[in-house]
């Protein structure tokens, strides 16, 4: 019975943690913004950031002279503006990063991408975690709870920890908790 209470408490703590974690906003190019002036090294800018799912990427620029196109890796490399995945033109575009991996952007005005107005927002995949396109993957993963459960629960939780859950870490955490409740209720 004590363990069930412990499991419920753990679930409550996890829920609270998820609410506390919130997204960051990154303005591309910092104070310079999105421009060809000053030869800003957007690759360097991007390399110094640790992007996470849920972050907002803000492109601030003069909409008379620039725009933002989201493109594939091949288009990014070739500065190919013919078929962008998305185009933004307001001059103050905030883009919500919803998945891990690379997100490629450049300015679609002729010559600007070639001049270096391009940026790769890379949300790193964490070690040992399968990338999942499900809704669960858009939530930052909580610590694996099995490590915090003392006593006999450990032996039940450990094999689950090794599994790659199709529902991400949240699903895995739920599975661990369900196992605890079933075994000790």
Ligand X SMILES: *[C@@H]1O[C@H](CO)[C@@H](O)[C@H](O)[C@H]1NC(C)=O
Which residues of the shown chain bind ligand X in the complex (CB under 6 A)? 60, 75, 78, 80, 82-83, 92, 94
Find the shortest distance in angstroms from Cβ 116 to ligand X.
19
CB of 30 to ligand X, least distance (A): 14
4 vs 58, which CB is nearer to ligand X? 58
What count of Cα atoms within 13 Å lies in the side-chain half-sphere of residue 137? 19
User: Would you say 42 or 61 has its CB closer to ligand X?
Assistant: 61
Cβ nearer to ligand X, comparing 94 with 179: 94
Q: Minimum Å distance from CB 173 to ligand X?
A: 33
């Amino acid at each position: 019975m004590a363990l069930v209470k412990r499991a419920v408490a753990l679930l409550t703590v996890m829920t609270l943690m998820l609410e506390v974690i919130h997204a960051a906003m990154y303005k591309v190019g910092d104070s310079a913004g999105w421009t060809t002036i000053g030869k800003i090294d957007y690759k360097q800018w991007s390399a110094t950031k640790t992007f996470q799912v849920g972050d907002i990427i803000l492109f601030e620029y003069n909409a008379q002279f620039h725009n933002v196109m989201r493109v594939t890796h091949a288009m990014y490399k070739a500065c190919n503006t013919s078929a962008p995945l998305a185009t933004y033109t307001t001059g103050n575009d905030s883009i919500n990063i919803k998945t891990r991996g690379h997100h490629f952007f450049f300015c679609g005005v002729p010559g600007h991408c070639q001049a270096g107005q391009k940026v790769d927002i890379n949300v790193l995949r964490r070690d040992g975690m399968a990338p999942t396109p499900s809704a669960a993957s858009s939530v930052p993963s909580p610590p694996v709870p099995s490590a915090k459960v003392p006593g006999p629960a450990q032996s039940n939780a450990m094999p689950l920890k090794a599994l790659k859950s199709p529902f991400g870490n949240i699903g895995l955490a739920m599975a661990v908790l369900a196992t605890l409740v079933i075994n000790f209720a």
